[in-house]
Each structure stands twice: as structure tokens, then as C-alpha cells.
Structure 1
Amino acid sequence: MKNSPKSLDNKWLRFSVTLITAFVGGLLFTVLHTPIPWLLGPMAAVLIGARFGKITFYWPVQIRDTGLIIVGYSIGLSFTKDALMQIIAKLPSMLLMTTLLVFFCAGIAWVVSKLTRVDYPTVLTGSIPGGLSQMIIFAEEMKGIDITTVTFLQVARLMMIIFVVPFLILGPLFHHSGSGGATDVVSKAVQTSGPIFPNLLLLAIICVFSAFLARKLKFPTPNLLGPILGTAFAGISGLHGPVLPASVLDVSQFMIGAYIGLLLKPEKLENKAKIISLAFLSGLLMIAGAVGLGFLLIHFYHITPSTSLLSLAPGGMDQMAILAHEVNADLSMVTGFQLFRLFFIYFVVPPMLRLFFKVGARKFKKTA
């Protein structure tokens, strides 16, 4: 059934209101000199506007996907042969840190479950770090898990990390003025960058095709991961693209931020006050755990504090990569750690959770 002209006009109106609201949020956060203003500003403005406005906000997923492809291309540029070798050398520490972070989050989920009296499988699924889309799909497949609560816990954690981590990074504990690994990565990318035409056109085609292929293969976050891998493979093979100007990256952040602002829907929750407060408290505890593991990581490698925190922050890879680019952290290391955790959560965590829930259900039946 085709959309009627009236419904199309309504969509355009809703989109226009959302676009203006997001733009005002970005401008306001720019004036306030907040970190990554064109990500946080639209996100905050759309979140508030959608909750209190009279018009239902609308943001096409295709715009978000375009923003992810742009970010994926920018991240992929940092994956030189040297960066790839560094990541391979760090695989043992990636496994250790990821496992510790997942177990730490599982412990927090147990405490939150006891305090809210929400069943542990639901809270645990909502607390797994960095796998929002994967955990929501997993919750849909498993019986007895509250999808609304899982979605809220995942998005609340993501919101907390996106808002809190930038201020931590720019604070006295993690801020650094030296030229860390990121400066080397960026300078190498600039030195090896190719001409705008035809290289950029070829890489744009590669990024779109890679995103399409990643979706077909059901990769996690395909519109980000596909372009990262496609651009990285092209760069290692000798096809180098130009580094994108800051204005283009701001536009990509704007595209992503407005969409994220629409994800959180607290009105659908039961026991809103308790679950919301504990969701944000658990988000803060996860950040504290990432900070602790970050200091441990600094002892393993000669890296800056900002690189260590962004490598382990249990948030979205795209947001952490954007922030790493902003503060001159080692982009290849941050993305390498985030990618490893993404694949770990995608391939390892769901089978482990299924086994854990089955064993738990049997024990419950025996004691009942």
C-alpha cells in the first residue's frame, strides 16, 4: 500500500521539526563549547523535544546510516599496515580487558536486579556493554525477557557514556596536551592520502558496497563496520583516500545524534523512577569500571590516558571513535579495542547467555 499525499506531508512536517530542533541543539552546544557538540547537541535537543513536543518526531534511519558510513570511512583511514600489526600484537590484552569488563557489568546487573526486582536475565541482557542492536535482537529471540526494559537499559547506558565520557576525557585526569599515538596516525593518514578524484569516488563506492555486504552477512553495526573494513582493506592495498574536513564529520555526527535522541522512550517503562535512576547509576558504575581498567591498560602499554579510557569505554564504537579523533587519541587502538569487543559480544556473549539462562531455568525448576 502506497503512502497517501497526506501521510507524506505529515512525515515531512515531523522531519522538518526534528531537523530544526536538532540543529538548534547543535548550535547551542557549540556556543557552550561542549565536547562533540554536533553529536551531543542534536541528541539532547531531540530527546527533550520528542518527550515534551506536541508533534511526533521523525528521523529517517537512512540519514543515520549515511552518517555511520561517513564515520566508518574516516575510521578506516587510520588502519595502516603498522596499525594493523599493533592491533594483532594487543589481542591478548583485548581479550582480557573485554572479559573483565563483561563480568564487571554482569555483577552490576545482579545488584540492579535485586534493587529493582526485575528478573536478572532481563537486566543482564540490558547491561552487556557495546551491543545495543545485538542485545535487543537477542532479547526478541529469548522467551521471558522484557524487550522494553532491555532497550531502555542499553540506550540509557549509551546516553550516560556519550555524555559523561567527553567531560572525563577533557578533565584533568585524562586530558593530555602531548602528541600521542593519534597524531602519528593522523599524520600518516595525511601523508598517504590520495587525491580527491578519483580516489574519493572509488572509496565512496567501496564504502556503500561494504555496508551493503555487511548487512547481508548480518555483521554488527553493518553501516559502520562495513565501511571501516572496506576502507582499511583499500588503504592496505594501496588505494588511499583524502582525510575528511571537520565540517563533514560534524554533519555525520549530526545525522547520528538526532537518531540516537529518539531511541530513549521512558514512558513505556513500568516503575519508571526506580528503573531510570538505577539505569543511570549502573551506567556511572560501568564508566568507573572502565576507568579502573583503563589505568591498568596504561601499565601494559605506553599510551595516553584518553586512549586507554576510550578503548575500554562501554559505549558505541562510532561515538568513541569520534571522540578519539577530537582529542588526538590513538584512533587505531581505540577502534581496535572497540571492534574486538563488538565481535566478542556478537559471537561469544549470546551463546554464553543462552547456556547461562538454560542452566538457571533448570535450577529454578528443581528448587520450585
Structure 2
Amino acid sequence: MFRSAIAAYSLVKAPRALQWLLLLLVSALFILLGFASELPAAALLGAMFGAIFIAAGQATVRVHRSLALVTQAVVGVFIARAITVEFFLSMGRHLPVIAVSIAFVLLASMVMGYILALMKVFPGTSAIWGAAPGAATAMTLLAEDHGADARLVAFMQYVRVVMVTTVATLVFRLTHGADTMTAPDVIWFPAINWPSFGPTLLLILGGTILGVISRIPSGVLVIPLILGALLQDFGLVTIDLPPWLLVASFVLIGWRIGLGFSRPILLHTARRFPAVFFSTLILIAVCGLFGLALGHLLGIDPLTAYLATSPGGADTVAIIAASSDVDLPFIVAMQTSRFFVILLIGPAVARAVVRLLARRSQ
């Protein structure tokens, strides 16, 4: 029934203007549902689901490469905004704990990716990047630059984002009560403060150009991230990312990922969903138990330890943590440090796993 429904749905002969209009309408519906449900990353997920719906009909519209590159730079600057002086102070105070925790969560995630690759749920490189704990959007962009299938990686990453968010929210409400978590009011179109917004735009555009020229893998993401963190912490730039710019960037990223889903890919991921779901559930449970044990042994607040060791969704976890009385700098330091470790060793780990799988098959 699922196959026949997809086969009967076709937009091949539809005008491109109609395809774009349908993409906008369907994405807006999913995004509004996401915001109404208070789902973190609602703009990105809603746009991705809308694009997948359009891609299932074999639509021909695509996001221009230049726009895709600029959105990567926006994500890099967005992450850089969290790397404040408090971030480094927290790292210095908790360095041994952070190192042990990062090693444990990385090991658990890589084992999960290896098992999924061994079971041939997904190819080795895609399975490892899909299991990598970090900012889901950044992991998907990095994976594509290192030869993985961005569609499969996005599928694994965003299934985990939804599951981690759900579990973290439940843990929060069980420990703090149902009425203590309130979503902050968002001013979508604040007055533009050019002394801060102007340099931020220059950082985004300059980082995009430098990333392309440098030919560094994921340079369009990494260079703005590093430059933004340095300029911010030396007081030279105040990173100013208005909500409308972030939402527009996340929508474009969601479209770029979602429009890459072909009918065979949709059928492939649908068949693999149970394996991804249960393996992710096990990973969340293992990391959660480790976090609670760490909190008990070292005298860290249990909720702080749980959120800090949560496998991925750094921005989502930070939003939840900001609504409670926890050590936010420690949580951000843990999650962001893990992202940088993945950035450094991710490609090497993925290659090693592929070689190991090749030897086993021989």
C-alpha cells in the first residue's frame, strides 16, 4: 500500500512555479505544527518533511548551491555564539569529567553505528556519521563533505533529535514539574542593530568565501565557526543572528536535505526505521544511565549530568537546560567539546570502520 501510494503520486509534469508553491505550503504546515507542539528545530524539521513530501513526487526544484553554502556559514556562526568565555572556564573546571564523558558517549555512539553497518541497515560511512553525537545539522553537512549519504545521515540524526528531545523533556518535567518549563517569547523581526548585525553578516559572507577558497573539508562551516568564536571572545564582534535569519537558514537546509530523498531512498529508510528507532532508544538509555552515575559519583546535579551526556542535539538540550536551574555552561561545554572532537576524528573513525567492515566481509 505504501509503495503503491508513492508510485501514484507524481509532480514530474507540474510547472516549477507550482512545485515551489506546493513546497512552501506543505513546509509551512509542518513548521506551524512543529511550533504548536513546541518541537525544537521545528523550522528545519518542518521544512525537511515538506521537502520529502515534494521529493516523493519526483519534483525537480532544488536549493541553489550558493544559498546552501551561506546557510552552512550561518550554522557555523550560530555554534560559535555558544563558545563564550564561560564555556572555556567551565571546560577548565571540569576537564577530566568532560574528557571521560566525551569518550564514553563517543564510544557508545560509534559502537551503535558499527552494529548498524554490520547488520547492513545502512552503509558503513553513513551509519557512523548518522550515529555521531553532535549538532544534527552540522553532522549532516560534515557527513556529506566526507563521502556519506546526507539523506541517510539526516534520517538517523533527526530521528535521534526527536527522541532525545522527547526523553529530555520528560526527564525535565518529572524532576521539575510540568508547569515549570515555559517557552520564551520570540520577537521574530527585531529592530536591526547594524553595529552588531553588519559585522555578523560580513563574518557569514567572508567565512563562506574563505571556506570555498580554502578547499578545507566542511570549511564553509568550520571557518566561520572558528573566526566567530575568536572575534566574539576578544570582544571584536557581537554575534547578532535575528530569529528570521536563523529560521530562513534552517528552512533552506531542511529543503536541501529533504529534496534529496528519492523514492528508492524513502522506501529504504521506511524499512530501516525500526532498527534505527530501537538502537537510538538503547543509546539514549545507556548514556542516561552513565550521566546519572556520573552525577552521583562526582556530586553533579543529576539533571545537569543527564543533559550533558545526552547523545546529540546540542542546541535542543541547551534550550531545555536554559529553562531550569542547572549548570548551563557545563552542559554547553560538554556538548560543544564533543562536537569539536567529532570534527577532528570523525573522518578517520568513519574510514577505519569502513576498512574493518571490508576485512570482515572478506
What TM-score results when the alignment is normalised by the length of structure 1?
A: 0.69
Note if contact 1:293-1:312 (Cα within 8 Å) is conserved in structure 2. Answer: no
Deviations 1:135-156 (A, max 9, x none): 4555x4xxxxxx65xx554222
Equivalent in the alignment of 2:188 = none
Give me the whole-angstrom Cα distance separating, in 2, the residues matched to 1:271 and 1:44: 16
Equivalent in the alignment of 2:195 = 198
Equivalent in the alignment of 1:192 = none
CA offset at residue 305 of structure 1? Answer: 2.8
Q: Does 1:321 align with 2:309?
A: no
Equivalent in the alignment of 1:161 = 160
Matches within 5 A, 1:1-368: 13-51=18-56, 53=57, 55-113=59-117, 115-116=119-120, 123-124=127-128, 127-130=131-134, 131-138=139-146, 140=147, 151=150, 153-173=152-172, 196-217=193-214, 221-241=218-238, 243-265=240-262, 267-268=264-265, 274-296=271-293, 298-299=295-296, 300=298, 302=300, 305=303, 308-309=306-307, 312-315=310-313, 320-321=314-315, 324-325=318-319, 328=322, 333-352=330-349, 354=351, 358=355
Note if contact 1:160-1:284 (Cα within 8 Å) is conserved in structure 2. Answer: no
Give me the whole-angstrom Cα distance separating, in 1, the residues matched to 2:219 and 2:64: 17
CA offset at residue 55 of structure 1? Answer: 3.2
CA offset at residue 201 of structure 1? Answer: 1.0
Amino acid aligned to 2:63 = W
Note if contact 1:78-1:332 (Cα within 8 Å) is conserved in structure 2. Answer: no
Note if contact 2:87-2:333 (Cα within 8 Å) is conserved in structure 1. Answer: no
Range with greater deviation from structure 2 (165-174 or 22-31): 165-174
Note if contact 2:151-2:257 (Cα within 8 Å) is conserved in structure 1. Answer: no
Q: Percent identical across equivalent pairs?
A: 20
Give me the whole-angstrom Cα distance separating, in 2, the residues matched to 1:272 and 1:338: 28
Amino acid aligned to 1:313 = P
CA 1:273–1:297 in structure 2 vs 1: closer, same or farther (change >3 Å)?
A: same
CA offset at residue 205 of structure 1? Answer: 0.9
CA offset at residue 285 of structure 1? Answer: 2.7
How many pairs align? 328
Deviations 1:59-95 (A, max 9, x none): 3344444444444434433433232232344444343
SS in 2 for 1:170: helix
CA 1:224–1:117 in structure 2 vs 1: closer, same or farther (change >3 Å)?
A: closer
Give me the whole-angstrom Cα distance separating, in 2, the residues matched to 1:118 and 1:72: 28
Range with greater deviation from structure 2 (221-230 or 96-105): 221-230
CA offset at residue 100 of structure 1? Answer: 2.0
Give me the whole-angstrom Cα distance separating, in 1, the residues matched to 2:121 and 2:72: 37
CA 1:134–1:118 in structure 2 vs 1: closer, same or farther (change >3 Å)?
A: closer
Give me the whole-angstrom Cα distance separating, in 2, the residues matched to 1:332 and 1:221: 26
CA 1:74–1:134 in structure 2 vs 1: closer, same or farther (change >3 Å)?
A: closer
What TM-score results when the alignment is normalised by the length of structure 2?
A: 0.70
SS in 2 for 1:229: helix
Which runs of 5 or more structure 2 residues have no equivalent in the other structure? 1-13, 178-191
Give me the whole-angstrom Cα distance separating, in 2, the residues matched to 1:77 and 1:136: 24
Note if contact 2:34-2:42 (Cα within 8 Å) is conserved in structure 1. Answer: yes
Amino acid aligned to 2:157 = L
CA 1:347–1:96 in structure 2 vs 1: closer, same or farther (change >3 Å)?
A: same
Give me the whole-angstrom Cα distance separating, in 1, the residues matched to 2:215 and 2:159: 27
